[in-house]
Amino acid sequence: MAIGLLMVVAVGGTGYSAPLYPVADPDPFYAIPQNLADMRPGEVIETRSMPPLAIFPDTTVTVVRFRSTNSLGKPIAAITTVLTPRGHKKDGPLLSYQHIINGLGAECSVSRVLYTDDPNLQVREAPAWNVLLQQGWTVALPDHLGPQFAYGAAKLGGQITLDGVRAVKQVSELQVENSQVGMVGYSGGGMATAWAAALAPRYAPELDIVGAAMGGVPMNLVKMLESLGLGSHPVFGLALAAGLGLEREYPDRFPLSEQLNDRGLAARAAIANSCTNDILAAGAGHGAIDFAKTTSMINDGDARAVVEENSLELYDGVPKAPVFEWHSPIDGLIPVDSITNTDRRWCAAGTPLQAETMPVPDHLTAAVLGIPAALTWLSARFQGQPAPTNC
């Protein structure tokens, strides 16, 4: 969303609308355990074997629920779904694949999308996963938006990704206790991957991460939101969803809902549990000036700090594991200069980094072109080959 709506306090607005959270899941598997605060990050809460899926032949599906940490340092329960191929060997490669999750509700999570008949929600990345499964890799697919589906809370996604790997390694029947770990993701999934890589040296230093491949990463949410402006934009719905997700994660510091007018509150209600297509439809042809109470706005330090805290370009940590990064040179969704700046800073800090520019002028095509090279790069890391760098 435009920076004016995401990071300001409206002057003259009255009343207060609390954050609108997703509908709670009635399945007792997802209930919050009473002893959650006593658990360690990554500790397993419960596992569940799922029915086999035709799209993944000769593969078992296991859902792992575990303890993680939200952006405020409080304990949360999170989910990762593990695909284990019949050809898996004990302590073979373990890949955490951060799926693109553009959503605010439970039906958008990977653990649900795998079992839906809705063609608008079905997984488009399944062919890539099958290539990995056929190589004997175990693939973990975390629901990296967390239990409140805090879309836009990028740092949260990194923490959940790392705790998901910790949890999977504890499940004995998955046979990955001593596996080397790789991570990959694009766009929103790339953001969770990049944050996990940068956080790992401090947050999960015990993990043996051989490499992290990330593409199309929004490295600086401040710049990204500013570039959208106050007027209408084709992806304004995703920007609104990001603002609502950040409000869920930071309710005291990011009170977006109290700045919305009636039209904005109606849009909020319409997308509170929605996924990509419905979110895009709700925002199509609109902008911040349509949904805010007033265009007379002033910057609010706390709200801006929230967005900065979720902007990887501004985070002082750097990955220790090798990195493969790819992007389009002309991306209409994300600022490319923030990617370049982050790459340079990581290189200067000693991170082995290979950056590749895809010869296409758009965000989505770059994903398709880059993922084969990213997976080939990860395969070489699992084989113990030295990581190349073009810093």
The DSSP result for 75-94, as a single string, is EEEEEEEEEEETT--TT--E
DSSP code for 106: G
Q: At 231, is the pLDDT very low, low, confident or very high (cuts 50, 70, 90)?
A: low
For position 225, what pLDDT does the model report? 78
User: What sign for the dihedral angle of Cα 364, 366, 372, 374?
Assistant: negative
Q: At 251, is the pLDDT very low, low, confident or very high (cuts 50, 70, 90)?
A: very high
Mean pLDDT value of segment 243-254: 95
For position 230, what pLDDT does the model report? 63
To the nearest 5 percent, what fractions of the chain are helix, strand and coil? 40, 20, 40
Per-residue tokens: 79: 């989910």
Domain residue extents for the chain? 1-391
**Is residue 380 over pLDDT 60?**
yes
Mean pLDDT value of segment 13-25: 75
Q: Which of 5-9, 113-117, 236-240, 277-281 has the lowest mean pLDDT?
A: 5-9
Which residues touch 358 (CB under 8 Å, ≥6 apart)?
Answer: 326, 327, 328, 329, 365, 366, 369, 370
Higher pLDDT, 286 or 165: 165
**Is residue 255 over pLDDT 80?**
yes
Higher pLDDT, 327 or 6: 327
Which residues touch 34 (CB under 8 Å, ≥6 apart)?
Answer: none
Q: What's the chain's average pLDDT?
A: 90
Mean pLDDT value of segment 176-190: 97
For position 116, what pLDDT does the model report? 84
pTM of the model: 0.94
Mean pLDDT value of segment 150-162: 97
Per-residue tokens: 129: 């996963």
CATH superfamily of 1-391: Alpha/Beta hydrolase fold, catalytic domain (3.40.50.1820)
The answer to whether 162 touches 77, Cβ cutoff 8 Å, is: no
What is the Cα–Cα distance from 284 to 147, expressed in whole angstroms?
A: 27
For position 18, what pLDDT does the model report? 87
For position 302, what pLDDT does the model report? 87
pLDDT tens-digit series, residues 90-105? 999 999 999 999 999 9
**Is residue 107 over pLDDT 50?**
yes
For position 5, what pLDDT does the model report? 45
Q: Which of 23-27, 46-50, 185-189 has the lowest mean pLDDT?
A: 23-27
Q: At 123, is the pLDDT very low, low, confident or very high (cuts 50, 70, 90)?
A: low
Question: Quick one: which H or E segment has residue 52?
Answer: none
